[in-house]
């Protein structure tokens, strides 16, 4: 293998020399270096296809240094999709279409696409909340059927823009997080008021509608289970860790960015469910962790890791809430799970190493 065949570029959104997750990328760099793999961070907007060079940043001697590198043979896509992704997309696509570059995995594009793929699995489909593309009539129908609905942006993250709408005696109540991730609750008097609230709130973005599920503890604390699954050094899927994220009692979402806490799954379930039910829940979560990555990969293409958000309602039913292809790792630091913390960092490098050997061999 030549030097550039042993290079792994972390593709991220960089604003000048600023990029997020520096702590994580530093660890990837150090672990990569131990295994003879050169790791650096770059923005897809800084690639020169005629010289086949890219401007990026490398961690060395305690700090990040700006440098030019040959286009990496392997790319780890950490380019978060969000409001301004359109500025990155054409550059990302060009890299994806380059025959000399292997992506560890291709990012998932949105909640609706993922939902449609998973709905084809006989095993997973029953665990998906009924989901439809938002329109006012669809919202009305969902409210009539279930009494409460959730609307959420198709390309959302961190619980931003997730709103519960429920029928109350005096009309409706909308509560959730606005575009600035600030919690709010609003009383709405009638259908005309509801119609104008949702049309303003959803303006310019696509939303999904689901029934509101009681994904909280008996005292009303919203929670979900974050399962991190990753490819290992043999190119096989393995579960890195499972953690429960608990939101604020006054909130409807359990995202950590909304100011949440975390706790290990094994000690959490027995607190809220009888032992037979807790065991069934854990089995069901394990089946999802086993089945979902392989199934999604079949329809979507290569993936390197997934953060699967699983909801458990007050009756103990298990729901697949969201699948993230660029998952965070904070939760395993918060629950002090050193094995999960270590694996969450080493697995992507081990998988890159596996692909490097494959590429030379095949």
Ligand X SMILES: Nc1ncnc2c1ncn2[C@@H]1O[C@H](COP(=O)(O)OP(=O)(O)O)[C@@H](O)[C@H]1O
Give me the least distance between CB of 103 and ligand X, in Å please: 22
162 closest CA partner among 149, 177, 174? 177
Other beta carbons within 10 angstroms of residue 115's beta carbon come to: 21
CA distance 97 to 332: 34
As measured in angstroms, the least distance from the Cβ of 285 to Mg ion is: 16
- Sheet arrangement for strand 7-11: 63-70, 53-60, 38-48, 7-11, 74-77, 102-103
Contacts with ligand X by CB under 6 A lie at 129, 150, 152, 156-160, 162, 210, 212-213, 215, 222, 224, 253-255, 309, 321-322
| Residue 314 Cβ vs ligand X, minimum distance, rounded to whole Å | 11
- Nearest distance, CB of residue 194 and Mg ion, angstroms: 25
Closer of 104 and 213 to ligand X (Cβ): 213
Minimum separation from the CB atom of position 126 to ligand X (A): 15
Nearest CB to Mg ion, comparing residues 98 and 248: 248
Does 309 bind Mg ion (CB under 5 A)? Our answer is yes
Cα separation, 69 vs 89, whole angstroms: 21
- 57 burial (CB, 10 Å; 0-12 / 13-18 / 19+) is buried
Assess contact for 306 and 325: CB atoms under 8 A.
yes
Nearer to ligand X, 9 or 222 (CB): 222
Q: Which of 172, 220, 168, 209 is nearest to 192 (CA)?
A: 172
Instruction: Tell me the window of 31-39, 77-85, 112-120, 318-326 that interacts with Mg ion (CB under 5 A).
Output: 318-326
Cβ neighbors of 285 (< 8 A, separation 6 or more) are: 225, 227, 242, 265, 310, 318
Q: Residue 84 burial (CB < 10 Å; 0-12/13-18/19+)?
A: exposed
Q: Which is nearer to Mg ion, 297 or 322 (CB)?
A: 322
Residue 303 contacts which entry, ligand X, Mg ion, none (Cβ below 5-8 A, type-dependent): none
Closest residue to ligand X using C-beta atoms: 322
Work out how close the CB of 322 gets to Mg ion at its nearest, in angstroms, rounded to a whole number.
4
3-state helix, strand and coil shares in percent for the chain, rounded to the nearest 5: 35, 30, 35
With CB cut-offs between 5 and 8 Å by kind, which of Mg ion, ligand X, none does residue 272 bind? none
Among 77, 297, 322, 337, binds Mg ion (CB under 5 A): 322
What gap in Å lies between CA 282 and CA 310, rounded to an integer? 11
Minimum Å gap between C-beta 361 and ligand X is 38
Residue 29 or residue 255: which is nearer to Mg ion going by CB? 255
> Cα–Cα distance between 39 and 58 in angstroms, integer?
7
> According to the binding rule CB under 5 A, does residue 224 interact with Mg ion?
no
Q: Could you give the CA distance from residue 188 to residue 207 in angstroms, rounded to a whole number?
A: 20
| Identity of the residue, 163 or 188, whose beta carbon is nearer to ligand X in the bound complex | 163
215 interface partner picked from Mg ion, ligand X, none, CB below 5 to 8 A per type: ligand X
The one of Mg ion, ligand X, none whose footprint includes residue 224, by CB under 5 to 8 A per kind, is ligand X
Helix (H, G, I), strand (E, B), or coil: what is residue 287? helix
Cβ proximity to Mg ion: between 305 and 309 the closer is: 309
Site residues (vs Mg ion, CB under 5 A): 309, 322
């Amino acid at each position: 293998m030549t030097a550039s065949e042993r290079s792994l570029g972390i593709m991220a959104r960089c604003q000048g020399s600023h990029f997020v997750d520096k702590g994580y990328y530093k660890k990837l760099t150090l672990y990569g270096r131990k295994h003879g793999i050169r790791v650096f961070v770059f923005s897809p907007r800084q690639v020169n296809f005629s010289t086949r060079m890219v401007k990026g940043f490398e961690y060395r001697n305690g700090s990040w240094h700006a440098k030019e590198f040959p286009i990496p043979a392997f790319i780890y896509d950490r380019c978060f999709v969000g409001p301004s992704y359109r500025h990155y997309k054409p550059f990302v696509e060009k890299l994806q279409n380059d025959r000399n570059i292997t992506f560890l995995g291709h990012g998932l594009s949105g909640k609706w696409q993922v939902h449609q793929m998973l709905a084809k699995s006989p095993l997973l489909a029953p665990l998906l909340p009924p989901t439809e593309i938002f329109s006012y009539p669809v919202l009305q129908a969902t409210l009539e059927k279930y009494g409460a609905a959730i609307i959420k942006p198709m390309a959302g993250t961190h619980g931003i823009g997730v709103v519960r709408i429920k029928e109350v005696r005096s009309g409706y109540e909308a509560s959730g997080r606005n575009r600035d991730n600030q919690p709010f609750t609003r009383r709405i008097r009638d259908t005309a008021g509801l119609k104008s609230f949702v049309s303003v709130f959803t303006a310019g973005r696509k939303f999904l509608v689901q029934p509101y599920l009681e994904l909280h503890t008996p005292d009303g604390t919203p929670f979900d289970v974050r399962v991190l699954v990753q490819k290992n050094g043999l190119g096989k899927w393995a579960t890195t860790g499972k953690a429960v994220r608990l939101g604020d009692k006054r909130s409807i979402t359990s995202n950590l960015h909304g100011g949440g806490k975390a706790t290990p799954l094994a000690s959490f379930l027995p607190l809220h469910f009888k032992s037979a039910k807790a065991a069934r829940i854990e089995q069901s979560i394990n089946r999802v962790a086993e089945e979902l990555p392989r199934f999604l990969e079949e329809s979507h293409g290569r993936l390197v890791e997934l953060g699967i958000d699983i909801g458990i309602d007050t009756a103990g039913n298990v729901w697949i809430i969201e699948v993230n292809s660029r998952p965070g790792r904070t939760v395993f630091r918060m629950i002090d799970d050193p094995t999960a913390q270590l694996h969450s960092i080493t697995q992507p490098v081990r998988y890159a190493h596996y692909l490097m050997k494959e590429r030379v061999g095949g």
